[in-house]
Every structure is written in structure tokens, then in C-alpha cells.
Structure 1
Amino acid sequence: MKLLLTSGGVTNARIHTALTELLGKPISEARALCIPTAEYGHPWCTPESAWRFVAGQSPAPMCDLGWASLGLLELTALPSMDRARWVPWVQAADALLVDGGDAMFLAHWMRESGLTELLPSLVDTVWVGVSAGSMVMTPRIGREFVSWPASGGDDRTLGLVDFSVFPHLNHPMMPENTLPAAQRWAANLTGSCYAMDDQSAIRVQGGTVEVVSDGEWVQLTPPY
């Protein structure tokens, strides 16, 4: 699987180009499924914000990029369905557009639904994450980002990459997301960490990790 891990979506031409290159075709020729599941696990999110993502009206450009086709995949529904019904939908998609919210909630339903088991076989599919939709692919998100009560404080996610992500760096609506806060967050983790703003993303393909940015980002490797 190819990854485009964004903080705020496809917000500039550099990130847009990275997505097109990962797809290997224009977005207008690509099929996508959007996954809003993480929204339902976070106290800041509402049914309205989930709808805005799906409708292409959220602050994170994803579903409104001009896809050839766009479908909705709700992970909480999949355990009640036969795999033979939903797996072909995922296999036919060129991209999975994964919204933010609570990364622990998202990780739980990725495992429960069976999507996590399917991911290694999706070698040509592009995972496009926003915020928690990016963080879920990391080994840990840090306790600062754990909000789902059922997680019991556990911050371990899927670990499909070997680095962690601090999103929304210096965001005007998130005054707590400063560089000193990111440094404190990274100090409690192991391995490489990236703090990035909403004009930045991380591209992962074939074992190569590349930051794509028109904004602000920093790589943090604890200890300091």
C-alpha cells in the first residue's frame, strides 16, 4: 500500500502532485472510497462534521478533488456483512480517503472490520489520511491524542510505518499545538517523529519516506 499522510488534506499543489504520482493517473480517472469512521470516536466531532467530510465541504480537501467515482465505506458496518460483499469494493478502489477524529477508535474498527488484515494485499492502493487518518498508521500517537474512553489510555495504533505524527502544528484553532508541545510529545515516544502543519504531508512508497510541504514541519527524534 502507498501512503499519503496529511495533517489537513490535499491543501496545496505539492501535495496534490504527490497524490497524482502515487495514483499513477489523474484524479479524474481514479476511484475512491471515503472513510469517516474516526469522526464518531472524537468528542469534538459531530454528525455534521462527518457529513461535511463526505460531502467535500470540510476544511480538509479530499472528497472534493474531482474523483471519477466516490463511495462511502463505514467501517463500523463491515463486521455485520459478509467479507465477500465488501472486500471487492475496497479492492476496486484506487484510493482510500480516511478522515480525522480519534485514531484509537479508527484503529479499533479497522481491526474489527478486517480492513487491517486486507491492507498488505492492496499494493497499488493509496491511503490518503487526514490527521487521525494519518496517525492510525503509526506505532503510537502519544497520550496527548488519546480521547476515546474505551482505549483505556492505550496509545498504540497499527504500526504500519515506523514513525509518529503530530498534526496541525501551529494551527490557529489549536493554540496548544505548538512546537514546544510537539517536542514534549516526542520525548515520550520512541523512534522518529514528525510535527507538521496543514500544508504538509508525508509520502510513503516502497520503503521511502518523503515530506511534501509548502508549510512548516520538523522531524523530532527523541531523546533530546
Structure 2
Amino acid sequence: MKLLLTSGGVNNKSIHEALVDMLDKQIAECNALCIPTAMYGHPWVGPGVKAWEFISGKEQNPMVNLGWKSVGVLELTALPSLDKERWVPLVKETDVLLVSGGDALYLCHWMQQSGLAELLPTLRAVYVGMSAGSMVMAPHIGEAFVGWTPPSGGDQALGLVDFSIFPHVDHEMLPENTMAAAEQWAAEIQGKAYAIDDDTAIKVIDGKAEVISEGHWKLLSKVSS
């Protein structure tokens, strides 16, 4: 499984080059599916115009608007009402999944309910996450990021990587997202964690993580006593 876990999308040359390298062919030759589901669970970005901006490539964060051969929409909340034969072959054939930000636990819930979570480790597609779309891969997101509450409660996510992510460090629109806040969050996570800004991504291939950055980031690990 190939993952490119970003805070703010494909924001710079280094992240863009990492994506192309993971795809093994040019973006203009690749078919993409975008997944806006996380946006609906977050009061700042959905539902409504923000979801449309992501799907149409009109938003500022580069993902859908990178010049793909084609872009389709995979809405996870609809999938449980469809036969898997209607959508699983489409996902298996696509080159890249573009997963928006929003609410990580809402996204996690619908990934599990739809069956996509179980399918993800088997796909050849490159998974590109932004913010919550990246955080959902972690074992936990941390109580600080719990908004929408899943039926089971808690802050557990998919656990497809062995680290958690604190995104948007020192973002001008999020003054509370300081490195000090990230360090406090990491202490509560009690596991391996990264704090990353919007010019940073984490590339994961076969479980091996590599930081790609033109900005600033920090590896935050809980040290066992």
C-alpha cells in the first residue's frame, strides 16, 4: 500500500515529485477518485460549498486540480446502499484516491461502514490524504481532534500506519495549532506521532515512512518509563 499523507495537499514541488514517483507515471496519465466524505462531518467545511469546491478542484489546496486524466467522485455514505459489484471494480482500477480533510472520525466510520477500509490494503492505487484524510490512517487521532463522535466513542482510527498526525502546525488561520500544542497532544497519544505543517507530507510505502518537507515538522514519540 502506498500512502501520501499531507496536511494541506500537494502544496510544493517536493510533495508533487514524491506523488509522481509513487504513481510510476505522469499525473496526466492517471485516473483519480476523490472522496469528500470527511467534509460533511466537520462544521467548518461541509456540507455545502466547500465540498463542491473540493470535488470541482476550485479550492486552494492542490489535489483534484493537479491535471489528472480523469476525476470521479466516490461518496462513502452512499456505498452501503449499493451492491459492491457497482463500485469495488472501479476502486480497484483507479490510480489514485484523493481524500479530503474534514472530520477524521466521521471519515473513519464511513470507511468502515462502506467496506473501503477493508479494501484499502489490497489496492494498487496511491492514497493521497489531506488533513483528516491523513489522520484517519493512524491508530488514534487524540482527544483534541474529536469532533463528530462515533457510535463506539473514543478516538480510534483505522490503524493502517503506526503513527498519528497533528496537521496544520503554525497555520495562520489556526493560531491554536502551535508546536507546543502538538507536543501536549502527543504526550496524550502515548505513541509515535508527527507534527507537520502544510508544506510537509509523510510518504508511506509498505509500512516504511519518509518525511517529505519544504516546511517544518517534528517527530514526537512518547518515551516509555
TM range (shorter): over 0.9
Unaligned 5+ runs, structure 2: none
Could you tell me which residue of structure 1 aligns to residue 32 of structure 2?
Answer: 32
User: Which one-letter code corresponds to 2:132 in the other structure?
Assistant: A
TM-score, normalised to structure 2, is 0.96
Alignment of 1:30-69 (within 5 A): 30-46=30-46, 47-69=48-70
RMSD, aligned CA: 1.2
Could you tell me which residue of structure 1 aligns to residue 184 of structure 2?
Answer: 184
Could you tell me which residue of structure 2 aligns to residue 222 of structure 1?
Answer: 222
User: What's the CA shift for 1:119?
Assistant: 1.2
Contact 2:161-2:207 within 8 A present in 1 as well? no
Contact 2:186-2:220 within 8 A present in 1 as well? yes
User: Which one-letter code corresponds to 1:14 in the other structure?
Assistant: S
User: Which one-letter code corresponds to 2:195 in the other structure?
Assistant: A
1:206 aligns with 2:206: yes
User: What's the CA shift for 1:58?
Assistant: 1.4
1:106 aligns with 2:107: yes
Q: Could you say what secondary structure the match of 2:54 adopts?
A: helix
Q: Could you say what secondary structure the match of 2:4 adopts?
A: strand
Once residues 162 and 150 of structure 1 are traced to their aligned partners in structure 2, the CA distance between those partners, rounded to angstroms, is 21
1:5 aligns with 2:5: yes
Could you tell me which residue of structure 2 aligns to residue 166 of structure 1?
Answer: 166
User: What's the CA shift for 1:100?
Assistant: 0.5
1:125-168 alpha-carbon deviations (Å, 9 max, x no partner): 10000000000000000010010044565110000000000000
Contact 2:169-2:198 within 8 A present in 1 as well? yes
Aligned length: 223
Once residues 206 and 76 of structure 1 are traced to their aligned partners in structure 2, the CA distance between those partners, rounded to angstroms, is 28
Q: Could you say what secondary structure the match of 1:185 adopts?
A: helix
Contact 1:8-1:59 within 8 A present in 2 as well? no
Unaligned 5+ runs, structure 1: none
Could you tell me which residue of structure 2 aligns to residue 193 of structure 1?
Answer: 193
Contact 1:202-1:211 within 8 A present in 2 as well? yes
Please, which moves more after superposition, 148-157 or 24-33? Answer: 148-157
Once residues 203 and 42 of structure 1 are traced to their aligned partners in structure 2, the CA distance between those partners, rounded to angstroms, is 26
Where do 4+ consecutive residues of structure 1 move more than 2 Å?
A: 149-153
Could you tell me which residue of structure 1 aligns to residue 14 of structure 2?
Answer: 14
TM-score, normalised to structure 1, is 0.97
Alignment of 1:146-157 (within 5 A): 146-150=146-150, 153-157=153-157
User: What's the CA shift for 1:43?
Assistant: 1.5
Once residues 38 and 193 of structure 2 are traced to their aligned partners in structure 1, the CA distance between those partners, rounded to angstroms, is 22
Once residues 45 and 151 of structure 1 are traced to their aligned partners in structure 2, the CA distance between those partners, rounded to angstroms, is 22
Contact 1:146-1:153 within 8 A present in 2 as well? no
Once residues 84 and 185 of structure 1 are traced to their aligned partners in structure 2, the CA distance between those partners, rounded to angstroms, is 41
Q: Could you say what secondary structure the match of 1:171 adopts?
A: coil
Q: Could you say what secondary structure the match of 2:39 adopts?
A: helix
Contact 1:138-1:157 within 8 A present in 2 as well? yes
CA gap 1:121/1:149 in 2 versus in 1, 3 angstroms: closer
Once residues 151 and 18 of structure 1 are traced to their aligned partners in structure 2, the CA distance between those partners, rounded to angstroms, is 37
User: Which one-letter code corresponds to 1:50 in the other structure?
Assistant: A
User: Which one-letter code corresponds to 1:100 in the other structure?
Assistant: G
Once residues 167 and 121 of structure 1 are traced to their aligned partners in structure 2, the CA distance between those partners, rounded to angstroms, is 27
User: Which one-letter code corresponds to 2:174 in the other structure?
Assistant: M
User: What's the CA shift for 1:192?
Assistant: 1.1
Identity %: 58
